[in-house]
Amino acid sequence: MARHEDQPLTSSEEAPAAQAQTPLQRAVAALAKMKARVESLEKAANDPIAVVGVGCRFPAGGTSPAAYWDALERGVDGVKEIPAERWPRDAIPGSPQETRWAGLLDDVETFDPRFFGMAPREAESLDPQQRLLLEIAWEALEDAGIRPTTLEGSRTGVFVGASGLDYRERVIDQRAGAYDAYCATGNFLSTAAGRVSYVLGLQGPAMVIDTACSSSLVALHTAVASLRARDCDLAIAGGVNLLLSPTSTTLIAATQALSPDGRCRALDARANGFVRSEGCGLVVLKRLSDAERDGDRVIALVLGSAVNQDGRSTGLTAPNVLAQQALLRQAIQSARISPAELTYMEMHGTGTSLGDPIEYEALRAVVGEPRADGSTCVLGAVKTNVGHLESAAGIAGFIKVLQALGTAASRPTCISSASIRASRWRARPSSSPPRPPRGTRRPESHAAPASPRSASAGRTPT
């Protein structure tokens, strides 16, 4: 049978054609095929990740991303004296001044268990952190235009940064040995992410990551890697932290890291420690190609991220400036941009006399070189407004950056800096966030939340 000119070759016809090629031609064809494969793998490994939904609860009335930004815009101070409803002042021996302050949510007690198909009896023993994760995951998905009930059986991953177990201590004290199965499942960190997957029927990876203050950004980094590896097609990532027992505050106070007047003064000569805080933030992530295919609203793109550890430094809780520089360079390389393209950095910025100068020096070394256009990289630290959310600290900064990108404005920190402590800071390549005119924006700007770091913790600029 005669073959039409545009009819494809059959397998039996391909073989003689291939045999007719010279060894050089076959080698060139194999190299071209291999090159295409490598390019495909590189594209998948560096595929931008789209943020398509956000949900949060932060101090100062940050009950939604918009309310959070509004509080930052108005310079609201989310730190207050700890009320007796949380724990009485005499719950901490001696009631030192630095243990009297915290950034607190207005309501962590109310929860509708039946909405999530849960019996009230189970909810009684359920860590409020897990309750909050369920609520915020639902809100973040709705913000993404996704009906949560439609995700059952989907390859959706859940990546949660969490560290504290304050509620378990309360359950142990209040139950006095009269425990049931819910006391265990409701108070293991490992079930926090799994519960979201269970309630929504999600079948992607589910994990809780505890790297202390960097937990939520490491969770975000892991979610990005999982999407690029195609372990999941949708990801919910972020962190949670609630202050429900005086014991953890007592232990942290013993490290002398807390501020006596309850303020995080980032890059400030008056810096004297940090103040603890609580909250929850989650983002919904997709590969950009999938988001565009599905017609999703794209809030921002994650171009790259990196994670490392300080290694040996002057102490377990002390940062390492060289390790921080290496991490920043790795993240910038991962994003395939140049340091000069960075226009804003959300710092860890706890307001400690040890950590802030080291973080600043690392930033200056990597992004502080003079630029041909005279521009600078602006620095900010949301901890000055809401305190240190610990395992949820990174996502609080990340969501601040998302809101800033949406309005093309970075809001000033709550506490203005006094004279800089160390003389080596005088030639500063960066500045505190300005308050630009409404409606102005800088095109093609790149913003990056810098990493939280802590004792035995990974760090992740994203």
Could you tell me if 191 and 432 are in contact, meaning their C-beta atoms sit under 8 angstroms apart? Answer: no
Is 221 in the active site?
Answer: no
Instruction: Give which of 347, 382, 390 is closest to 162, Cα–Cα.
Output: 390
> Per the residue annotation, which of 56, 232, 280, 348 is the catalytic one?
348
> Per the residue annotation, which of 213, 232, 264, 280 is the catalytic one?
213
Q: Which amino acid would we find at residue 289?
A: S
> Per the residue annotation, which of 264, 388, 414, 446 is the catalytic one?
388
- Would you say how long the chain is, in residues? 462
Is 213 in the active site?
Answer: yes
Is 232 in the active site?
Answer: no
Instruction: Give which of 252, 283, 270, 246 is closest to 388, Cα–Cα.
Output: 252
Query: What is d(CA 91, CA 223) in angstroms, rounded to the nearest whole number?
Result: 39
Residue 432 CA: distances (Å) to CA of 77, 380, 429, 459: 17, 6, 11, 23
C-alpha R_g of the chain: 25
Sheet holding 378-380, edge to edge: 378-380, 342-346, 446-449
Known catalytic residues?
213, 348, 388
